[in-house]
Structure 1
Amino acid sequence: MTFTAIRGGTALADEIELEGHLASLLRLENIGLLLGAGASVAAGGLTMSALWDEFITKCKEESIWMVEHGFIREEARTLPNPVVPNFENLIDSLEIALSDWARQMRMAGDDSLLYTSSELELEKKLNSLKKIKAALFRTVVSAALLRKDWWLSPSGVETNDDGLASQRTILQKLVSARQPGQSSPWVFTTNYDLAIEWAAESIDLQVSNGFLGTHIRRFSPQSFDLSFRNTQARGEARFGVYNIYLAKLHGSLTWKEESGQVFEVSAPLAHQRIKAFMDERNGEDLGLMVMPRAAKYMDTIGYVLGELFRRFAEFMSKPQSCLILCGYGFGDEHINRLIRSALLNPTLQLVIYSSGFNGDPNDLSLPPALRKLLSLKNPRITVVGGGSAHAHIDSLAGHLPDPLIYDEDMRKFERDLREHQYPQDHTSSPGVQL
């Protein structure tokens, strides 16, 4: 599919025009990314549709059971092109049934010492439902693991590993584009994986993710108000940017809650915990991940996630801000609401990379939330599409301007200035050095 992009109600001519637009946006006071599941595909992650394909392939009996009991339709498990159900609604319906059947079992236990045949059947259904819910959660976690060797490597992800090449490029370009006195870039993500952390560590970029501590890292939101500086630098370099801010809006595979506090653990230790979770057939939860369900809006009002969402809303409300969305499928209505509300900020710019966008704002295959944004025809909203070849994270990495372009312009300006001050016939004069 060919490249397509639209700004407001006007189509952009080509990628060069898009790159120029992005170059101007990176000069704004505040710059941020919102990454969804699609942004981690190149690193081994799965989109929601790919995740569902994996579930119905590996858990055939569970998918058949859900069809028989009315939780999904037959076409949802018909390969090779199943109709992907709404994950949030599906898990909500499973949890509602789980709660109701558990209540019926408790009532039956209070009324008699022996189960009737119907009660035994109910217990069997209850156990099956628990296993199916656990299987779904294990599939979600599996999609966020990326590569096993990254978890177990004592030196982290190497810079020659192409799996995170785009993430590294994007982070380097965002940081290098910051001007003296401007704040560090923000990265907001709905992903549980460690792609951003590993990419930043591989290029020695500091990550401020809300946790402070050396051996014991405890969530301390005031860390988002701190920044790094180079004490050896002189001039404008003293105001350079040496870190990014990372807000994992749905939690992380490396978080755990203990005694009312939230801690971050190392990747190898977290991997042990994840392995135990994956081996437990009836496991229902892991750390502070917010599983894909409609009720996760309630999960986000807690201390940690509530603070991260507050920072997200605060970022979009700041003057002269730009938020770039990549790999986000607009499936989280609580995030969609914040984005729509943020458009009341007259200086907010949105750039959306959507692999499903073909240039038609009225395409019914697009997520309703994205169609709503397109219908506004707001010149502050740019949508980039054209299929996966033009709208995934690799394209974003290529479209962002290289800071060396600015350096070359400055060198050319300096050469022109020197030629003006010292004409060619004076270059050999004593005491003049170019």
Structure 2
Amino acid sequence: MDYIHKLVTELNNLVWGVPMLVLILGTGLFLMVMLRGMPIRRIVLGFCLMWQGRSKDVGAQGHVSSFQALMTGLSATVGTGNIAGVATAIFLGGPGALFWMWCTALVGMATKYSEIVLAVHYRDVDSKGECSGGPMYAIKNGLGKKWHLLGFVFAVFGGLAGFGIGNMVQSNSMAEVIKVTFGIETWVTGLVTTVVVALVILGGIKRIAKVAASLVPFMCIGYIIMSLAVLILYASQLPAAFSLIFTHAFTPVAATGGFAGAAVLMAIQYGVARGIFSNEAGLGTAGIAQAAAATDSPVRSGLIGMTGTFIDTIVICTMTGLVIICTGVWDGGARGASLSSSAFESALPGIGGYLLAFALIIFTFTTILGWSYYGERCWMYLAGKKAIFPFRILWVLAVFAGAVFHLDFVWLLADTLNALMAIPNLFSLLLLSPVVIKLTADYFKSKNE
């Protein structure tokens, strides 16, 4: 077991090394340039379309509205990455890591837009009108038979990664925070969560989307309000916080307090890695959710979907990072969710820790729901519809297992599988980028814009 752990550690360091950072940022930058900055220029349009997308397109194939599909995607991305992931990036890379998370998000908007456009354009529709899409379908239908292996590899990695990063890691984080905050045993949390998750996911995408559309806006707005309350209290520290972020994005940060110091490369590496962990731009997962939407326009779906990256990283992750830096706890030696908790508790004594715990509980629960659909579509692609029910049973059982077992190795393996998911997706994006450019140009030409 020690050998396997060492092997996966070495693989993780390799796949999240400089080549991966270049591939992720490079692909996003390439797409942003080819789109002439459209995702940034049209972000307001994206939000307007998101609001309009609360109802299904009349006569379009699909089971959920574009808004519900976006909320399903956000339910999977707004999770531990926004609380523990941001804190880990700052702990390991210093305040400058937040700057590189922003960069990842900005170019990631182009990446996610392109993923969704291709997922909707190349989705499969069965005899009952059920839609299935994502990188594996874009590869199969867009690149042809000689590239089928690439889609197969994505589905395998996605199907396995979901059990870790989208399930067991989330239920484990939820159970731990509930035990520390409220004193409830992990098996109790695991049992209750297992039952609730089963009631939702056994109803398929329609029920998942309805729950996500109800919970996600509430949890995002609630977390933003909570963070703004802290930042108002520490408003005088905001200029210094931004100074630290921009300074240490390009210069090393020396050891101070409980902080061991970090080189610029560490700030870049952990900022990009945690940024991807948070918003999933480059993994291809958002396209799986958006492909289920009742829409007749891949570009409109892409415009709506790319707002998820903006909300997730530019807004919510920024809130977490600024709270940690402004309260001055970033160099105290704590890491992960504990660092975020200490920041909120120091600002709001007596209630800050409880509020963050509640936010983390909702975040992790919705992530489990969103990723269940991603994993289901991956296994359906590999084994057909007969795989759906067994997958859902295994998914529900994994929720309980994640709550009661120690998962250091699962964290490591899931992080590695995330990177391995990204590789076939990013290559397919580069190969199919002319299709994205043409569909985008045709859409705006038809709108006379």
TM-score (norm 1): 0.23
| Greater helix share, structure number | 2
Q: Which has the larger radius of gyration?
A: 1
The higher relative CO (CA closer than 8 Å, separation ≥ 6) is in 2
Structure with more of its chain in strand, by fraction: 1
